[in-house]
Chains A and B, each alone.
Chain A
Amino acid sequence: QKEVEQNSGPLSVPEGAIASLNCTYSDRGSQSFFWYRQYSGKSPELIMSIYSNGDKEDGRFTAQLNKASQYVSLLIRDSQPSDSATYLCAVKNSGYALNFGKGTSLLVTP
């Protein structure tokens, strides 16, 4: 069973703080890793993808991957109330399917 685990939250952070979202996965054959953001009632939208160990930065977002520990994280700097959403971690091996975690709910308070 290929599992992707995330804390359901809610994770509450004050405006301007750094939000740290974590994800672990069980399939050592996983090759591609994605973070999606999903607002309530809407479809997931891609934030970032990462394929190699280390950090990848895009604006206020930084994805971190550690394949040895089977761990991927997303940091959101200078969090804004508009960042309040559910963040989905998705993992892909050589097949077609994305395996999703259940998501972490983030609440950024003004």
Chain B
Amino acid sequence: SQTIHQWPATLVQPVGSPLSLECTVEGTSNPNLYWYRQAAGRGLQLLFYSVGIGQISSEVPQNLSASRPQDRQFILSSKKLLLSDSGFYLCAWSTPWRELGDTQYFGPGTRLTVL
């Protein structure tokens, strides 16, 4: 069965500091991978998605970036955090086929607080 991991689980960072969040998936090959953010009182917002190693698509312009150095590893980064970057960051995966049943499954999330 497939398993998705995220770390760290929680993070408190000062404004202007760098960020690195990691997501890994087990039990599947060549998954589609996604980064979402859920800010307080707001819905889930897709930040990035990736259909393969080195292939990153950005949905929302911001000071965040994403990378996929390995097939089942997805990293979210920032060089300088803003207060508005606080939120619950969720990684998700789906099968690699663009079929109708392209269900996305979420990892446990990282709660980021920027002070």
Chain A: interface secondary structure? loop
Per the bound structure, the CA–CA distance linking A1 and B73 in Å amounts to 31
Given the interface pairs A45-B106, A46-B105, A96-B32, the reply to whether A51 lies near B100 with Cβ below 8 Å is yes
Whether, in the assembled complex, B59 has its beta carbon less than 8 Å from a beta carbon of chain A, the answer is yes
Given the interface pairs A97-B49, A97-B59, the reply to whether A43 lies near B106 with Cβ below 8 Å is yes
Partner-binding segment picked from A10-18, A63-71, A75-83, A98-106: A98-106
Residues of chain A from 79 to 97 with CB closer than 8 A to chain B in the complex: 88, 90, 92, 94, 96-97
Give A residues with C-beta under 8 Å from B: 4, 31-32, 34, 36, 41-46, 49, 51, 88, 90, 92, 94, 96-98, 100-103
Q: Can you name 5 extra interface pairs (CB under 8 A) apart from A43-B90, A45-B106, A90-B44?
A: A43-B106, A96-B32, A96-B34, A96-B51, A103-B43
